[in-house]
Amino acid sequence: MHKLSIIVLLSIGYLPLMAQSPHGDDLKMDCIQCHNPSGWTMDYQTFQFDHDKTEFQLEGTHVLTDCTQCHSSLIFDQAPMQCISCHTDVHSQSVGNDCSRCHNSESWVVVDIPEIHEENGFPLIGSHSNLSCVECHTSDSNQRFNRIGNECINCHRKDYVGTQNPNHETSGYSTNCIDCHNPLGYGWDSKSINHAFFPLTQGHDIQDCNQCHSNADFSGLTPDCVSCHLEDYSGTQNPNHQTSGFSTDCAACHSLNPGWTPAVFDHDGQYFPIYSGKHQGEWNDCIDCHNNPNDYAQFSCFECHGQSETNKDHSEVNDYEYVSVACLQCHPTGDD
């Protein structure tokens, strides 16, 4: 009976000790799974708690972190899972509070800066690919990365205001730089100009904008060839484009090759077949038929068709005349 009384007393005294667990009422684990009988220090050799079964898996440097650094209250289910709860935000909330958006559990080094910017709608391409973060995201600490917006003018207002050739402000140019400049380029020179509305290729590959844009605001030009090439058109004598009534649309005959050559004139479709039919390969130069280089409206058939031979062939043709215009009237395609 005496021994039974001692056991009962010890059991009653042990109950308060069980209620003194610093880990709260919800932790249903035997103490020996983490501690050994010699004291309350952690026995990591016998530690059996599987953190992967929680909502916060231990990866990277978190594996080496002492439990109390995150579980400071020792009530384990009270530990927050947000990065900001444990890590000081050196960016002052300028990039949000989710560290994993830029960093991983292995290191604080950011390795996916291009991907982050692309997700935000501002890919780091062209000259933007070589910039350091602080060249755009300026702050007193160089750690704040306040959003500056995706509009070009947010960073390039000084460039826009300072440009004089042409003056962007007085000309009313768009503040969206990519309307004119190629985002893949590495400067503001003419090579970066988005001139897709009038491709600057081959003979139009001009580096000096002023060769075409003679006025200060770069306005007043049209895609019409003659707006730039009227002097070429008027000065050409072989053949004389004006007296011959040639089109002022240079592209009707000329390609974009420098020097105006080669030129292809639709002689067959508009006038008389010389690239097909019986006259194909029977001439070398325009002057073979157009013997007045100042007026290509004039032509002569008699450089090739002699009078005696022609008269003989037309001996039975009424109203025959040995005149070039008469030849064309009867033989509009050059056939017999």
Q: What is the pLDDT of residues 226-276, one digit of tens each?
A: 888 999 999 888 788 888 778 899 988 898 888 888 888 788 888 889 888
Which residue positions in the chain have pLDDT lower than 50?
1-19
Write the CB contacts of 243 (distance below 8 Å, at least 6 apart in sequence).
Answer: 294, 295, 296, 297
Q: Which two tokens stand for residue 176?
A: 């969206």
The tokens for 160 are 């826009």
Q: Which tokens is 171 given?
A: 């000309």
- Integer angstrom CA distances of residue 64 from 40, 41, 71, 83, 108: 20, 17, 14, 16, 16
Distance CA 236, CA 216 (A): 29
Give the pair of three-digit tokens for residue 181: 């400049």
> Following CA atoms 241, 246, 249, 252 in sequence, which dihedral angle do they give, to the nearest 10 degrees?
-110
Note the pLDDT of residue 162: 92
Contact 239, 246 (CB under 8 A): yes
Give the helix/strand (H/E) hosting 162: helix 153-162
Task: Say if residues 99 and 80 touch (Cβ distance below 8 Å).
Answer: no
How open is the CA angle 91-93-97, to the nearest 5 degrees?
100
Query: What is the 8-class DSSP label of residue 134?
Result: H
Share of the chain above pLDDT 70, in %: 92
pLDDT at 193: 79
The confidence score (pLDDT) of residue 290 equals 86
* C-alpha dist (Å) from residue 21 to 70, 159, 203: 18, 67, 87
pLDDT value for 5:
42
